[in-house]
Structure 1
Amino acid sequence: MVLVHGGFADASASWSGVIKRLQRDGYPVVVPANPLRGLSTDAPYLASVLKSVKGPIILARHSYGGAVITNAAAGNPNVKALVYIAAFVTDKGDKLIDLLGKYPGSEIPDAINEVPFTNPDGTTGTHIYLKTDKFRSAFAADPPRSTTNVMQAAQRPASAAHLTEATRAAAWHDIPAWGLVAGTDKAIPPALQRFEYQRAGTYRPMEVPGASHSVMVSHPGTVERLIQAADRGRSTLHASQSGSSGDLPGDHRRVRGAGRHDAQSAQPDQGEDGPGAHVDRRPGSRKCASPTPAQPTSVHRPLVRLMFRRKGQVQRLRVAFP
């Protein structure tokens, strides 16, 4: 299992609960640091990490990590399944700033704090952090406040370039994908997640009502079960392609006549995630319906100005968010 974090976070704070559960269940786990410099830097770096991992890979990612690995996993035959956790699922040519403008609901623009930094070549770039008083609401509303306070203090900034660099390859065209929608996400709007998962043909995306963007922190057991479902699912797909019959196992089976684009809302579970976790592990227990994503908004208003230096000249980029 390879787990990749997104912006405003680090590997351990994002994935510690999921890591413990996967290791307990016997899975080898690799959790590399995402440089957060932009796709042109981060994707090649993560691609090199993937090449160092021996054997089949189940690749899970959160937030901006989804865009990075969508690029980095392309062409790697060892990557057998992609798992998107409240993540960006980009296609060729996509920029995160454009995707964020498709649907309203993100609090990230109002939460951003811009801090200049010096690049190795002497030019000036812009780091973006989340403001202390905005972090919990925008990024991690449902974990315990003590946990959120640590996450805020330890957040890693992302270069503003990560919002504007385009995706060059999309691994989900060739690798089966699974997805989880965080039902009350204030960073990547749930409507955007549903749109992306539908476009990428993910297998019956799971939805966790009431979950914030940091769903793997607040619901680590639910996230682990989805990753395990992807592992079982890719084995079934491999068997099917080898001549065996059968649908995908358990909750994440494809529904005949409905295609790959069925969304589902998980039912309440009082299991290891505790009260408020939402998952029903009984095969065939959920009703399926084709999602009807909210209509993209055509009204944008500039909220953030990203400032960086190119070839010795300062340029301003007005970034439009809904």
Structure 2
Amino acid sequence: MSTPTIVFVHGAFADATGSWDAIARTLIQRGYPVLAPANPLRGLRHDAQYLRAVLATVPGPVVLVGHSYGGAVITAAATGIDAVTALVYVAAFAPDQGESAGAIDEKFGGAAQHVTQARPLPGATDPQGPPNIELAIDPAQFHRVFAPDTDTDTAALLAATQRPLALAAMLEPVDTPAWRSLPTHYAIATRDQMIPTDGQRFMAARMNAATIEVPTGHLAMLGAPEAITGLVTAAATC
């Protein structure tokens, strides 16, 4: 089998550069093709469709890696795509059929509902849907809850450049989860405040994922890049 392309999908309140630079650089040096598209963060179905369109341009096999909300996106997007050979979740949501990331967040008591700020999101409002708003983390809370494994200056930069998430993205359920038919791997961040460890362990066990635990906050790929790189390469070679 040819060397798979590693496709990284960032989560909410982040972008591809801040999330994946260190790991992507290492994998490129090791000869892996790497792609880290910008996740639109506008809605689960919308974001999954966008990722599917990106994957259609990638020749050969693909390993999908999702962080945080990006895990919900790869769960929804990879179903039925034969090129995808494995899924890797890094402190990420992995919803089941009919389940949303927001439902998991509520069940396990993540910090997002306490530290995010809402602002209007222009566009048509669905009277049957959620309010047309997007969420961003309060910059004063960002270092403590989202990026505790970074220094103060890095956390301030990440807070300033964070990309807000449409509320609808957290509330839309998954139809058919890709992890039911694909090998899965999970990195549990044991000091995570955004997705509590109990929730991560629950999702990893439910998927029967090959699992590692790292002593980091939510941005596990910044706090433990060697371990996350190892998990991704294991998924790519199994």
The answer to whether the aligner puts 1:45 opposite 2:43 as a matched pair is: no
1:218 deviates by 2.0
**Helix, strand or coil for the counterpart of 1:195?**
helix
The answer to whether the aligner puts 1:107 opposite 2:111 as a matched pair is: yes
Instruction: Kindly report the root-mean-square deviation, in angstroms, between the aligned alpha carbons of the 2 structures.
Output: 1.3
Looking at structure 2, the residues matched to 101 and 107 of structure 1 have their Cα atoms a distance apart, in angstroms, of 10
1:163 deviates by 1.5
Looking at structure 1, the residues matched to 141 and 112 of structure 2 have their Cα atoms a distance apart, in angstroms, of 9
Residue pair 2:142, 2:159 contacting (<8 A) in 1 also: yes
1:108 deviates by 1.7
Which residue of the other structure, out of 114, 120, 123, is the alignment partner of 1:116?
A: 120
Looking at structure 1, the residues matched to 151 and 186 of structure 2 have their Cα atoms a distance apart, in angstroms, of 24
The answer to whether the aligner puts 1:19 opposite 2:19 as a matched pair is: no
Residue type matched to 1:6 in 2? G
Residue type matched to 1:182 in 2? A
Q: Comparing 178-187 with 136-145, which one deviates more in the overlay?
A: 136-145
1:122 deviates by 7.6
* 1:132 paired residue number: 139
- Structure with the higher helix share, 1 or 2: 2
The answer to whether the aligner puts 1:214 opposite 2:219 as a matched pair is: yes
**Helix, strand or coil for the counterpart of 1:60?**
strand
* 2:203 paired residue number: 196
1:103 deviates by 2.0
Which residue of the other structure, out of 140, 151, 157, is the alignment partner of 1:150?
A: 157
* 1:7-53 per-position Cα deviation (integer Å, ceiling 9, x unaligned): 00001011011111111111110001100011121111111111111
Looking at structure 2, the residues matched to 40 and 179 of structure 1 have their Cα atoms a distance apart, in angstroms, of 23
Looking at structure 1, the residues matched to 176 and 49 of structure 2 have their Cα atoms a distance apart, in angstroms, of 12
Which residue of the other structure, out of 72, 93, 96, is the alignment partner of 2:98?
A: 93
Residue pair 1:92, 1:167 contacting (<8 A) in 2 also: yes
The answer to whether the aligner puts 1:7 opposite 2:17 as a matched pair is: no
Residue type matched to 1:75 in 2? G
Residue pair 2:121, 2:166 contacting (<8 A) in 1 also: no
Residue type matched to 1:16 in 2? D
Looking at structure 2, the residues matched to 102 and 168 of structure 1 have their Cα atoms a distance apart, in angstroms, of 19
**Helix, strand or coil for the counterpart of 1:161?**
helix
Residue pair 1:21, 1:221 contacting (<8 A) in 2 also: no
Residue pair 2:12, 2:70 contacting (<8 A) in 1 also: yes
**Helix, strand or coil for the counterpart of 1:53?**
coil
**Helix, strand or coil for the counterpart of 2:60?**
coil
Task: Give unmatched runs, 5+ long, in structure 2.
Answer: 1-5
Residue pair 2:16, 2:37 contacting (<8 A) in 1 also: yes
* 1:301 paired residue number: none
Task: Give unmatched runs, 5+ long, in structure 1.
Answer: 234-322
Looking at structure 1, the residues matched to 232 and 24 of structure 2 have their Cα atoms a distance apart, in angstroms, of 11
* 1:251 paired residue number: none
Aligned residue pair count: 229
Alignment of 1:67-78 (within 5 A): 67-78=72-83
Residue pair 2:108, 2:195 contacting (<8 A) in 1 also: no
Alignment of 1:231-270 (within 5 A): 231-233=236-238
Looking at structure 1, the residues matched to 12 and 35 of structure 2 have their Cα atoms a distance apart, in angstroms, of 18
Which residue of the other structure, out of 21, 26, 34, is the alignment partner of 2:39?
A: 34
**Helix, strand or coil for the counterpart of 2:82?**
coil
Structure of higher CA gyration radius: 1
Which residue of the other structure, out of 150, 167, 171, is the alignment partner of 1:160?
A: 167
1:72 deviates by 0.3
Residue type matched to 2:121 in 1? F
Structure with larger RCO (C-alpha < 8 A, sep 6+): 2
Which residue of the other structure, out of 175, 185, 189, is the alignment partner of 2:182?
A: 175
User: TM-score when scaled to structure 2?
Assistant: 0.93
User: TM-score when scaled to structure 1?
Assistant: 0.69
* 1:129-148 per-position Cα deviation (integer Å, ceiling 9, x unaligned): 00011111111111122211
